[in-house]
Structure formats: structure tokens, C-alpha cells
């Protein structure tokens, strides 16, 4: 039933597909274009119809036609992203840890410099008796989100090979540039033409997420005035000092490393410069829309307060929204959440609907007219050398896709 799942996943992660936030192309990297073409060929080989690569937005799409006589079955989409995060992804060499004992440290590299330890990653204890796929310590793994692609591919293969499983129309989409937050901007929601969808882009087994952050970014430029420090009194304006002052104007305890759950934050991602000029880049996050707007307001208040001391504007800010909490859309019809929950329960999986401290492509696609919550794909410790995924987690995610399709038809 799953014979192609793991080989498929390994083949995917061994293909480098990082996105590039500095690129002006769509997709942002040629490696994603090349990978998309391999997915097109595979979808055709499996037997899906209307397989297409959209050169304008970088999405691969395909359709599995309905095989039921029922006319009122809602159509479903399943979505995953092709790119990986900004961490070394060249030469990914997956390692297998079979029948993990749930308590031992796992050495990633031969020298033992990098280890998965229960002290740092207590979630390892959840995988006793399972087969883990890890990195070799030099790269990320890429389970975010190639596990999702592998699961969707395998689920479609199962549905095609077993026509006794009745289902309505199903569409799949594999998109670029999710990790840099731009991939879904050009998604063709009208052309995708489904009633609702799920991104297979979550973490551990059971995750079912319909609440995300609302998100914005602030790119800040600070103009100073550099003169000789020996004659600087009442003349020098240090851009670096203003940058520090700006950051100190934000709540010191509302940062990623001090928040959890529904708590929002300001995250200073980068700061560079000298006395003459400095730049800063923040991301702003909150689940509550009112608090989100308040956070953006505080950014501009600090700007105005500092600028008021000078005869010209010293701090300039490019502040822009990135995505919004998809709960505002999905809560209008929670039946798609109940469908996914029912599928998980049927499979003996306990649903976990905690909010996402981040976003998914579904955040944007939901606001395009297709409610799109997020389902687990199995990966843990994403975006770095400590990433891993259990084979059993990917199998369960594949089962959930198939069961959602089956239950959706049964309930029609």
C-alpha cells in the first residue's frame, strides 16, 4: 500500500529546491522549476488528468476525477510546497533509525558533533518503536514539505489503484516559494476550482490547524550623520544608536523566545549598518487582528517619536502585510474541520487543533475563496540539521488524505 511512499520521499529530499528571497523570478529558483517538471511527469505516470505546470505562478496542478454516481459530493484540493528553507540543502543524505528505542541520543554525523538528544528534543520519546528518517548533520532534511508532496502523491496512487474507494473530484497542487512567503500570492484559486482544500504542511501526527498568525514585515532604513568623533558634539547622529533606541521602544518580553500559544511578537530578524546608515528588518505576528493592528501602530509611533527630534526624517519604514489569520474565513463553515477530525478519529488519531505559530499557503488561499486548513505531514524540528520524520507519520498522513476523500463522498 505504501511501497512507493518512502522511496518517493527520499528521491524528493535528495533534490535541492531552496527558495531565494532576493530573487525576482517566479519561482524564485530554477531548481524548483526543474523539480516541478519531474512532478508533472510523475503525476501523468500515476494516472491523474489535466496535469499542468503554470509558468506564470510556478504551480503544478492535476485532477483525480470523481468515481461516484453521487452528484452533490464536494470537491477537495490537497496542497503542498516544493521549496525548502534557507539552510544548506545540497547533498541531503537521509539516514534511517529503525525501531528507535525512544530514549537514546541519535548521532547524525560520523564524528558525533551533532546529535538528536532527548534533552534538547523531548519529542523523540513519542517515536519509540518507529523508523525515523534524519539528516547526516550537514543539511536540513526537507520533510517540510516534501513529506506532504510524497503523501499526496501516494494517496492519489492508492485511490487510482483501488476504485472501490469512492470519492468526488480531487485536485492537487504543488507550489513554489512558501518558505519566503510569496508562493501563494499568484495561486490561481479560480482555476483550481474546488470547494475547499487542505495544505499537507503541518508537523507531528494529529495536527489540524485552522488558526494562524496574521503577519506583517517592517523594513527600516535609518539615516545618520557621520563626522569626526573628536568634533561630533551637537552634530553627529549615529544611525546605530537610533536603531538601538528603536528596538528598545518595543516590549522586551514580546519576542519569539519569550512567547507561546496565542501570544504575538516582534522579531528583529536582521540589523546592519554603521554611524552613517543602518537597516533593520522585523516580522510582526499576532493571532488577534486588533492586537496585530496595534503592533503595526506601535512601530509607526516609535518612528514618529524619534523623527520628531530632528529637522528631517531620519527613520523610514516600509511596512506591509504578508497574510492574515485564516480562522476568520474557515470558522464560517467548520464542516471541513469536522470532516478532517472524523477522518483522523476513524484512523485512531487524536486531532490536535492548536493554533499555528506561523502561516501556511492556506493562509492566503483561504482569503482567495478556498477555505484551506492545514494537516500534519509528520516532520519535526524543521528548517535545520535536526529535522526528522517518522515513516509511520507519513503513512498516517497518507491514510488521512484517503479517508477524507472517502468520508466526504460517504457523507454527501
Q: How confident is the model at residue 1 (pLDDT cuts 50, 70, 90)?
A: confident
> Looking at the predicted structure, is the pLDDT value of residue 59 above 80?
yes
Active site residues: 83, 178
Alpha-carbon distance 224 to 241, whole Å? 9
Relative to beta strand 208-209, strand 214-223 is unpaired
Do residues 267 and 285 make contact, with C-beta atoms less than 8 angstroms apart? yes
Q: What would the DSSP string read from start to end of 226-252?
A: ---GGG-TTT-B-HHHHHHHHHHTS-T
Residues above pLDDT 70, as percent of the chain: 100
pLDDT of residue 358: 87
| End-to-end Cα, the chain, rounded Å | 26
pLDDT tens per residue, range 326-357 = 999 999 999 999 999 999 999 999 999 989 89
| Residues 347-385 pLDDT 10s | 999 999 989 898 889 999 999 999 999 999 999 999 999
Task: Quote the CA–CA distance of 183 and 18 in Å, as a whole number.
Answer: 13
pLDDT at position 359: 86
* Res 80 pLDDT > 80: yes
pLDDT at 28: 97
Q: Which ranges in 277-347 belong to alpha helices (H)?
A: 289-307, 327-330, 335-346
CATH number of 214-323: 3.30.70.360
| Among 402, 335, 401, 378, residue whose Cα is nearest residue 198 | 401
Mean pLDDT in residue range 135-139: 97
Q: What is the dihedral sign for C-alpha 402, 404, 407, 409?
A: negative
- The pTM (predicted TM-score) of the whole model is 0.91
Q: What angle do CA 146, 359, 290 make, to 5 degrees?
A: 175
Every domain range in the chain assigned CATH 3.30.70.360: 214-323
| Structure confidence at residue 224 (pLDDT) | 98
Q: In whole angstroms, what is the distance from residue 392 CA to residue 135 CA?
A: 17
pLDDT digits (tens, 9 = 90+) for 147-164: 999 999 999 999 999 999
Fold classified for 5-211+325-410: Aminopeptidase (3.40.630)
Mean pLDDT of 382-399: 97
* Confidence category of residue 406, pLDDT binned at 50, 70, 90: very high
Q: Which residues of the chain does CATH 3.40.630.10 include?
A: 5-211+325-410
C-alpha–C-alpha distance, residues 169 and 195, integer Å: 10
Amino acid at each position: 500500500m505504501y511501497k512507493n511512499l518512502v522511496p518517493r520521499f527520499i528521491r524528493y529530499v535528495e533534490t535541492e529546491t531552496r527558495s531565494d528571497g532576493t530573487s525576482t523570478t517566479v519561482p524564485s529558483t530554477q531548481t524548483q522549476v526543474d523539480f516541478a517538471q519531474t512532478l508533472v511527469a510523475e503525476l501523468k505516470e500515476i494516472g491523474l488528468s489535466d496535469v499542468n505546470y503554470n509558468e506564470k505562478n510556478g504551480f503544478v496542478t492535476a485532477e483525480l476525477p470523481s468515481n461516484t454516481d453521487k452528484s452533490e459530493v464536494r470537491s477537495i484540493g490537497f496542497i503542498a510546497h516544493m521549496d525548502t528553507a534557507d539552510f544548506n540543502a545540497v547533498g541531503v543524505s537521509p539516514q534511517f533509525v529503525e525501531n528507535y528505542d525512544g530514549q537514546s541520543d541519535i548521532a547524525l554525523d560520523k564524528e558525533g558533533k551533532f546529535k538528536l538528544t532527548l534533552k534538547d528534543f523531548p519529542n523523540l520519546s513519542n517515536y519509540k518503536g518507529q523508523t525515523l528518517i534524519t539528516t547526516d548533520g550537514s543539511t536540513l532534511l526537507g520533510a517540510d514539505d516534501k513529506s506532504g508532496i510524497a503523501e499526496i502523491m501516494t494517496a492519489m496512487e492508492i485511490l487510482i489503484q483501488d476504485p472501490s474507494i469512492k470519492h468526488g473530484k480531487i485536485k492537487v497542487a504543488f507550489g513554489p516559494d512558501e518558505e519566503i512567503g510569496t508562493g501563494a500570492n499568484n495561486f490561481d484559486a479560480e482555476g483550481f476550482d474546488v470547494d475547499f482544500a487542505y495544505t499537507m504542511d503541518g508537523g507531528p501526527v494529529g495536527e489540524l490547524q485552522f488558526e494562524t498568525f496574521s503577519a506583517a514585515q517592517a523594513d527600516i532604513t535609518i539615516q545618520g550623520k557621520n563626522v569626526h568623533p573628536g568634533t561630533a558634539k551637537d552634530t553627529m547622529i549615529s544611525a546605530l544608536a537610533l536603531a538601538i533606541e528603536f528596538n528598545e521602544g518595543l516590549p522586551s518580553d514580546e519576542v519569539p523566545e519569550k512567547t507561546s500559544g496565542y501570544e504575538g511578537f516582534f522579531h528583529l530578524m536582521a540589523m546592519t549598518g554603521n554611524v552613517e546608515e543602518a537597516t533593520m528588518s522585523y516580522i510582526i505576528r499576532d493571532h488577534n487582528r486588533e492586537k496585530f493592528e496595534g503592533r503595526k501602530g506601535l512601530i509607526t509611533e516609535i518612528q514618529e517619536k524619534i523623527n520628531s527630534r530632528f529637522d528631517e526624517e531620519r527613520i523610514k519604514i516600509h511596512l506591509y502585510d504578508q497574510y492574515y489569520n485564516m480562522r476568520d474565513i474557515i470558522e464560517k463553515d467548520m464542516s471541513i474541520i469536522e470532516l478532517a477530525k472524523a477522518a483522523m478519529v476513524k484512523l485512531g488519531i487524536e486531532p490536535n487543533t492548536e493554533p499555528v505559530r506561523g502561516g501556511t499557503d492556506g493562509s492566503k488561499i483561504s482569503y482567495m475563496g478556498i477555505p484551506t486548513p492545514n494537516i500534519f505531514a509528520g516532520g519535526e524540528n524543521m528548517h535545520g540539521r535536526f529535522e526528522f520524520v517518522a515513516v509511520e507519520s507519513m503513512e498516517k498522513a497518507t491514510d488521512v488524505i484517503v479517508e477524507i476523500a472517502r468520508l466526504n463522498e460517504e457523507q454527501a
